[in-house]
Amino acid sequence: MTAIPPSPPPPPSHRVALILFAKPPIAGISKTRLARTVGAANAALLAAAFLRDAVANVRDLPDTTVSLALTEPWSRYEAADPALAAALADLPRFDQGEGDLGARMERALRRGLLNADSAVILGTDSPGLPRAHVQAALRNLLDSDCVFGPALDGGYYLIGMRHCPERCLADLPWSQADTLQASLERMFSLGFSPTVAPSFFDVDTRADLETFSDGVAAGLWRAAHTEAALLAMRDNAAAGNPEIIGA
């Protein structure tokens, strides 16, 4: 009888450092564009919910270490929302440091790459982002230098890289309709072969919030904390709280 050859060894794991860029949910500072139509208190409530949903979406991905990149000392997050800080207290965290968004992202990516094969930065403004979109981006990094998760406003909700040269994200037009395009052109100019994950949208305006709610009603996506925040907003508005504007 012919012996059955042993099974080949499993492929080595691809370790990913997944970094969430997180601002403290402070009324008057958080989600200022959204605050213009839903109020500062509601905007802060939603910002906290967005962050909790983003973490819940990726916390248990295999071969992935999740951490928080902070814009303020952790004490400000604790003061702004103690429940949020308690829910995220187990996650590693570090300060984003100085500079524009490009400089801060470069710094975070290089930090992540110290102990991982790829580093990915995920924004926290896309409640309902399908987990499959993030997984698609991670799969792309098995074969490509970098990946972007396009946002419908021309930016991106995710960037992942396998190596991060100095100033690769310097002097790019941030928060503009051509941010993604300029970033892709920069990667090509560096000899990279960038790929893109499926597109999604950020929630920055009242219209975006309505799109999110419509998607929940249609069963297209779920984001438990954001859904609960919207329900609280509606309840407060029905109770006549002048600070709260119903969504």
Average pLDDT value for residue range 33-42: 95
Beta pairing partners, 17 = 65, 119
Q: Is 30 exposed, middle or buried (0-12, 13-18, 19+ CB in 10 A)?
A: buried
> What confidence tens digit (pLDDT) does each residue in 108-148 have?
999 999 999 999 999 999 999 999 999 999 999 999 999 99
Q: What is the model's pLDDT at position 236?
A: 84
- Measured between alpha carbons, how far is 2 from 4 in angstroms, rounded to an integer? 6
Q: What is the model's pLDDT at position 1?
A: 44
Q: What is the model's pLDDT at position 4?
A: 52
Percentage of the chain beyond pLDDT 70 is 93
Helix (H, G, I), strand (E, B) or coil at 106: helix
Composition of the chain by helix, strand, coil, percent to 5: 40, 15, 45
Q: What is the model's pLDDT at position 7?
A: 46
Q: The tokens of 143 are what?
A: 């074969």
Q: Is it the case that residue 102 has pLDDT exceeding 50? A: yes
Q: Is it the case that residue 221 has pLDDT exceeding 50? A: yes
Amino acid at 29: I
The model's confidence at residue 237, banded by pLDDT at 50, 70 and 90, is: confident
Q: Is it the case that residue 206 has pLDDT exceeding 80? A: yes
The model's confidence at residue 246, banded by pLDDT at 50, 70 and 90, is: very low
DSSP letter at 3 equals: P
Put simply, whether the predicted model's pTM sits higher than 0.75 gets the answer: yes
